[in-house]
Chains A and B, each alone.
Chain A
């Protein structure tokens, strides 16, 4: 085994259950040269995250069965390495920025990492200072990690890998849910670390960000097997059909969607709305709300009925908080009207009969442990007079419509992210809600699932007059699906044409 190969996987077979029939990784063979930047792409459910975890030695240690094959890092077998030795070879950056730290601040987290590698205490501070200077994260060192934004957390996590001096960085969808600026900043750090000689292996379902950096794209098919490799910026167009075949995002200039020309009556109106980021804190005796920065300042907006509207803006700019205001869960000044009625005059339960919301993490809104029951529970809530049979028939009809009837006996938590979101949309609309709020519909999903859900919603919008407002940081998504786009910038909601969004 040559030193020139960073990662070598030979005939790796991995499954979650000992007796299971389905191999998540099915005879995977993969060699990745040292010093390169390689992007592994594959559709959701093809096993690419599992592949990363197996390569990093996290599986089968934390679950699953390695039924066959070997993994080598820089010529050394992974089996037999303890976590310390593994960390010297490969450091991993995960998809969810919230779940990768165990200490309070970045400085302490970096110390934790170096302690794990048995570094002498005197050597730690110089290394931290050098890393912070090199990566420009000095400002993050002593802030509590939970107060950082997603992009800052990812940079902090990368800084930890920097101090550990791992030879290879393994990135599992680390750009998911970062807005464009945060993603660029992270990419900048990655490029710096690559120039210092580190190998980078990234798992991603969007090639766009990597076009200028990656030496090679590898497409993964079913069972994590290599479907094509040797792709790079120059020859990508030859593989266009394969991208479509595998359900992957092809990096093409997105076509703006042709919006509705006619002016429609608004379903939701913001009239001079101001919102402050209130940090409501429950102290021992009372709720104390500290006034934070102003998120919306005297904003005007008209969200048309029977259409899809996008609200764009970087993470943390207050999009979700504006949604909370619409649900009367966050204080606002000014006037918000729903179908012409002042929101403040509508009782909450009546409001929720008209407005539904699907959050970033749809798993948070499941109320039962069974897919069919999930829909029935919602139908019962909103239609208490319906007999049981009618509920069941209606639930079956809706599950069929959303392509989920195969899974009716499953637990909602066992579904994929895309299916979970569909189920959430379906059960949220059970009360005949006419306005759907959708928070970051792309979160944790591949091109095909995003397309599927947006197309389905568009169908409902056109056929049934549903109104959809979705917030996203993904400009291409907004341009492709929205009839109207609002850009939250300078604390205002500005209507912008799709062409400007893509420019």
Chain B
């Protein structure tokens, strides 16, 4: 059973996320950022099939980055306001506390929470969107050319094979006495040669199955934009606009 996030038309979803990101980038409200982040997490965990493990796995680097941004904003923000708080009376207070008492704390929070909000929106899209559904939706809602769409799908489905092949290439190199480290270019060259062969073979196979690029074809399923897809978009964008108007911090 798919959740409502997965059924949400992917093109509309992508557009919504994009608009939300742009809106968030012109405001400085910590509370709104946190609210967006929280809502994204709740929606992901309740409205899609992706488990909390995947969410947590992606959240960890996002939190680390947010922490980094926070510390940076706290200590190195423009205006150097740590000195402003450095009154004679509190000079015995540790530096970190003094920094926290300064105006910098709010700047740092703004930066860090904004990053979290972006991360939430990104995950909302990435973790709840089926690649094939997205491409099918782009095909019909954005008039993506079928040649391009099915080319991407074919490449996407070749990935497991490529991963297998790549590890074999690396093994073959190692057995030949070459030291291969993760960034070696030689195996990548071999993979490029393979990829050219593969793309030729796959495209010929597709053509022999009657696929003719941009010729007319029928479609088994046509993703449509329903009223509830647009309602979801309006709700998300409206919520953020409301937040921008009503919230103060």
B205 and A94 form a contact (CB under 8 A): yes
The reply to whether A164 and B209 contact each other, CB–CB distance below 8 Å, is yes
Interface members, chain A 63-97 (any B CB < 8 Å) = 63, 82-84, 86-88, 90-92, 94, 96
B218 touches A120 (CB 8 A): yes
Question: Can you list, as one digit per residue, whether each of B179-195 has a CB less than 8 Å from chain A (1) or not (0)?
Answer: 00000001000100110
Q: Is the CB of A102 within 8 A of B157?
A: yes
**How far, in Å, is B146 (CB) from chain A's closest CB?**
9
B-side contacts of A53, CB under 8 Å: 204
A16 at interface by CB-CB < 8 Å: no
Of all chain B residues, the one with the shortest Cβ separation from A84 is B210
> A103 — which chain B residues lie within 8 A by C-beta?
132, 153, 157
- Comparing A19-27, A38-46, A110-118, A298-306, the segment that makes contact with chain B is A110-118
What's the least CB distance linking A400 to chain B, in Å? 21
For A327, the closest partner residue in chain B by CB is: B175
Contact check, B172 vs A364: say whether CB atoms are below 8 A apart.
yes
Most chain A beta carbons < 10 A, residue from B160, B171, B172, B200: B172
For A329, the chain B residues whose CB sits under 8 A away are 171
List 10 A-B pairs, Cβ < 8 Å. A53-B204, A83-B211, A100-B202, A102-B154, A104-B132, A164-B210, A355-B175, A359-B168, A363-B193, A364-B194
A145 contacts chain B at the CB level, 8 A cutoff: yes
Which one of A1-9, A54-62, A222-230, A493-501 is at the B interface? A54-62
B221 to chain A, nearest CB (A): 8
Q: How many A-B residue pairs have CB under 8 A?
A: 152
Q: How far apart sit A365 and B166, CA to CA, in the bound complex (Å)?
A: 11
The answer for the CA separation of A119 and B154 in the assembled complex, in Å, is 21
Asked if B207 and A58 make an inter-chain contact with CB atoms under 8 angstroms apart, the answer reads yes
Q: How distant is the Cα of A70 from the Cα of B237 in the complex, in angstroms?
A: 61
Binds B, one of A179-187, A262-270, A345-353: A345-353
Whether B217 and A102, one on each chain, are in contact in the complex, defined by CB atoms closer than 8 angstroms, is no
CA distance A381 to B180 in the complex (A): 13
Task: Convert B75-113 into 0s and 1s, putting 1 for each residue whose CB lies closer than 8 angstroms to a CB of A.
Answer: 000000000000000000000000000000000000000
Residue A314, interface by CB 8 Å: no
- B201 interface contact, C-beta 8 A: yes
CB <8 Å contact, A102 and B220: no
**Which residues of B lie under 8 Å from residue A285 when comparing CB positions?**
57
At the interface, is chain B mostly helix, strand, loop or mixed? Answer: helix
Interface status of A244 (Cβ within 8 A of chain B) = no
B175 with A62: CB separation less than 8 A: no
Q: Flag whether A413 is at the interface (Cβ < 8 A).
A: yes
Q: Is the CB–CB distance between B210 and A116 below 8 Å?
A: yes
CA distance A356 to B172 in the complex (A): 9
User: Which residues on the A side are within 8 Å of B211 (C-beta)?
Assistant: 83, 102, 112, 116
Expressed in whole angstroms, the Cα–Cα distance for A427 and B176 within the complex equals 8
| Distance of A58 from chain B, by nearest CB (Å) | 5
Known: A99-B158, A100-B205, A283-B57. 5 other contacts (CB 8 A): A84-B210, A349-B177, A363-B193, A364-B165, A365-B176
Q: Does A367 contact B (CB under 8 A)?
A: yes
Q: Which residue among B157, B175, B190, B200 has the maximum number of chain A CB atoms within 10 Å of its CB?
A: B175
Interface on B for A, CB 8 Å cutoff?
A: 57-58, 132, 150, 153-154, 157-158, 160-161, 165, 168-169, 171-178, 186, 190, 193-194, 198, 200-212, 215-221
Q: Is A146 an interface residue (CB 8 A)?
A: yes
Q: With A353-B177, A359-B172 given, is the CB distance from A124 to B207 under 8 Å?
A: no
Q: Residues of B contacting A99 with CB < 8 Å?
A: 158, 198, 201-202, 205
Q: Which residue of A lies closest to B130 (CB)?
A: A104
Q: Is A112 touching B174 in the complex (CB atoms < 8 A)?
A: no
- In the assembled complex, which residues on chain B have CB atoms less than 8 Å from the CB atom of A249? none
The A327-381 residues at the B interface (CB cut-off 8 A) are 327, 329, 348-349, 352-353, 355-357, 359, 363-367, 378, 381
B186 partner residues in chain A, CB cutoff 8 A:
367
A126 interface residue (CB < 8 Å to B): no
Knowing A121-B219, A363-B193, say if A87 contacts B209 (CB, 8 Å): yes
A residues in contact with B210, CB < 8 Å: 83-84, 86-88, 113, 116-117, 164
**Quick one: closest B residue to A146, CB to CB?**
B160
Quick check: A82 and B215 within 8 Å, CB to CB? yes
Closest B residue to A88 by CB, please name it.
Answer: B210
Minimum Cβ distance to chain B for residue A416 (Å): 14
B215 touches A83 (CB 8 A): yes
Cβ–Cβ contact B208 & A91, under 8 A: yes
Q: Beyond A61-B207, A118-B218, is A82–B212 a contact (Cβ under 8 Å)?
A: yes
Cross-chain contact A113 with B209 (CB below 8 angstroms)? yes
Q: Give, as a whole number of angstroms, the nearest-CB distance from B235 to chain A.
A: 31
Decide if A431 is an interface residue (CB 8 Å cutoff).
Answer: yes
Q: Chain B residues with Cβ under 8 A from A353's Cβ?
A: 177
Determine if B209 and A381 form an interchain contact, defined as CB atoms under 8 angstroms apart: no
Chain A residues lying within 8 Å of B216, measured Cβ to Cβ, are 118
Give every chain B residue within 8 A of A378 (Cβ-Cβ): 176-177
Min CB gap A315→B, angstroms: 15
Contacts of A359 in B (CB 8 A): 168, 172
CB pair B171–A352 under 8 Å, yes or no, is no
